[in-house]
Amino acid sequence: MPSTVTTVVVLIGLCLVLRLVSNRFKSGLRDIPGPSLARYTRLWKLHSVWKGDHHVTEIKLHRRYGPLVRIGPNHVSVGDPAAVGVIYGLNQGFTKTAFFPIQSISWEKKPQMNLFSTRDESFHRSQKRLVANAYSMTSLLEMEDSVDSCTGIFMDRLREFCDRKRPLDFGAWLQYYAFDVVGEVTFAKKLGFLEKGRDVDDTMKTIQGILAYASLCGQIPDAHPFLLGNPLFPIFIPSMESWNSVLQFTLKAISSRLALGSDQHEPTADRVEESLGKDMLSRWLALHQSDPDRLSKRDIIVHTSTNVFAGSDTTAIALRAIFYLLMRHPSVMEKVRDEIDTADSQGKLSDPIAYRESVAHFPYLAAVFKEAMRLHPSVGLILERQVPTGGVSILGRHIPGGTVVGINAWVLHRNPEVYPEPDAFIPERWLTSPPAALKAMEQSFFNFGAGSRTCIGKNISLMEMHKIVPQILRHFEVRLHSPAKEWKTRNVWFVQQEGLVCDLLPRTPT
């Protein structure tokens, strides 16, 4: 007779086979095309994400299979702009998936949901209502002088490299700039990246680690409670929370303004009044003082730490893409310089350049921004949503409730029916396309997401782009140090770039 161990192994094997077969022939999804292995197991997508080029893989899959591609037993990638309103529109019933809560800080021994990570739509609405005004362009421009102070330091550091004729890791310095701007708009305090010229407190390294973990564990989110999401870790390893330098960095920045770190040191009305400013922390502290239950200490810490986590990487990715594509396309670079020089010679520009001046006088540069973000969106995976109970029709096909669906910006932005010559860098398409075509392009532009969960910090990125890019090109000629080398990209949820090493030469606008 077979041993008990053998029997158990056989039963486990049979259960596994049944599960794989059940996955393959899942009702409502069995006929959706996609990689064969992906129909059986999530391991296909896990491996694809682990390779770091899943965005490229998805583009190829959609070009082969069409607008609906099955990329997992219960996952469908959608590549048609007609589905944006269905999946991400208001009151459609779709919710975020278990992929997102993984990206939450742990504080006071439990995970703290933020606007990005929460799956609770009512919580998201209530929190967004309280803080959204601080992210409006009107509010941000009230702090433009503070952003200009970051620009001044950045330009001084660039002049040092220029004077010494030394190449620099321009991509890293763009992120240093983005970090310090986030510090100013969030805390009215630079975070020290430009001054020190390095990764302060290993914050960038920590963010890289969090993104890598989230991108992989997010493919099998039910493993998270057994890994870094284990609820026993904060209890038995209290020091675990100190490993997150983003949280520690945020707490340190807050405590340098006010003693907000403990219940014994709640901000008093006098202290809030003393520190009152236009930055986000000041605004939220004032709201906390007027109604602590409405915006708690926890809420302030979560919102500010989210700014530190997400506010620099995505902006730096966009800035790197803009400069890299300009340097790879000299004719476009020349048009941008001519546009800046013309406005400068006519006395239309301040020093540093103001946001409203950039918007008013640089239409071609604005098209460059849009085209660079189209070709290199910051996010490289689908923005997952769970189909509501009862299922929905997507592109004329019924998708069962509980299915995970989503759109990858890299796929949508390379739809040839919307963007002719989709792999080419053509800023002019945003200026010369017929109205109907331009409307279709705008509706398909997915760099900041769509619907109620659109990136709340997009105005911070846009303000930085409009101010720092023309300011640098006004004073420097930026060249790739090794033009024969392509930069390297790696998709760890955000599609990060390496190798943007540049030489700077001084220039005098003509």
Q: Are residues 172 and 312 in the same domain?
A: yes
Judge whether residue 254 has pLDDT over 80.
Answer: no
Judge whether residue 441 has pLDDT over 80.
Answer: yes
Into how many domains does the chain fold? 2
- Would you say 503 and 483 are in contact if contact means Cβ atoms under 8 Å apart? no
Model-wide pTM > 0.85 = yes
User: What pLDDT does 350 receive?
Assistant: 95
- Residue at 219 is within a domain: yes
Q: Are residues 129 and 81 in the same domain?
A: no
Binding-site annotation, residues: 455
- Per the DSSP assignment, residues forming a β-bridge with 501 are 169
Summarised one tens digit per residue, pLDDT across range 144-196 is 999 999 999 999 999 999 999 999 999 999 999 999 999 999 988 888 999 99
- Residue at 314 is within a domain: yes
- Residue at 429 is within a domain: no
Within 8 A by CB and 6+ apart from 399, the residues are 28, 29, 76, 387, 391, 392, 393, 405
Summarised one tens digit per residue, pLDDT across range 82-132 is 999 999 988 888 999 999 998 887 777 777 888 888 888 888 888 888 899
Angle at 414 between CA 413 and CA 417, to 5 degrees: 105
- CA 231 to centroid of chain Cα atoms: 27
Q: Are residues 89 and 136 in the same domain?
A: no
Binding-site annotation, residues for heme: 455
Judge whether residue 381 has pLDDT over 90.
Answer: yes
- Would you say 466 and 358 are in contact if contact means Cβ atoms under 8 Å apart? yes
For residue 267, name the pLDDT band (cuts at 50, 70, 90).
very low
- Residue at 430 is within a domain: no
Judge whether residue 263 has pLDDT over 60.
Answer: no
Q: Are residues 75 and 219 in the same domain?
A: no
Q: How confident is the model over 396-414, as a mean pLDDT?
A: 96
Judge whether residue 239 has pLDDT over 80.
Answer: no
For residue 63, name the pLDDT band (cuts at 50, 70, 90).
very high
Q: Are residues 319 and 234 in the same domain?
A: yes
pLDDT above 70: percentage of residues in the chain? 92
User: Rounded CA gap, 22 and 436, in Å?
Assistant: 45
- Residue at 15 is within a domain: yes
For residue 28, name the pLDDT band (cuts at 50, 70, 90).
confident
> Domain of 136?
111-377+447-506
Q: How confident is the model over 402-410, as a mean pLDDT?
A: 97
- Residue at 367 is within a domain: yes
User: Rounded CA gap, 130 and 298, in Å?
Assistant: 14
For residue 264, name the pLDDT band (cuts at 50, 70, 90).
very low
Q: Are residues 93 and 120 in the same domain?
A: no
Q: Are residues 91 and 172 in the same domain?
A: no
Place of tokens 């109205």: 435
Q: Are residues 239 and 257 in the same domain?
A: yes
Within 8 A by CB and 6+ apart from 498, the residues are 171, 487, 488, 489, 490
Summarised one tens digit per residue, pLDDT across range 464-480 is 999 999 999 999 999 99
Judge whether residue 8 has pLDDT over 80.
Answer: no
Summarised one tens digit per residue, pLDDT across range 367-378 is 999 999 999 999
For residue 257, name the pLDDT band (cuts at 50, 70, 90).
low
Q: Are residues 243 and 271 in the same domain?
A: yes
Q: What residue ranges in 270-391 does DSSP mark as E strands?
A: 385-386
User: What pLDDT does 209 receive?
Assistant: 87
Please give the mean pLDDT across all residues of the chain.
Answer: 89
Lowest mean pLDDT across 259-273, 324-338, 387-401, 433-447: 259-273
Judge whether residue 59 has pLDDT over 90.
Answer: yes
Q: Are residues 93 and 146 in the same domain?
A: no
- Residue at 431 is within a domain: no
User: What pLDDT does 113 receive?
Assistant: 86
Judge whether residue 80 has pLDDT over 60.
Answer: yes
User: What pLDDT does 262 receive?
Assistant: 43
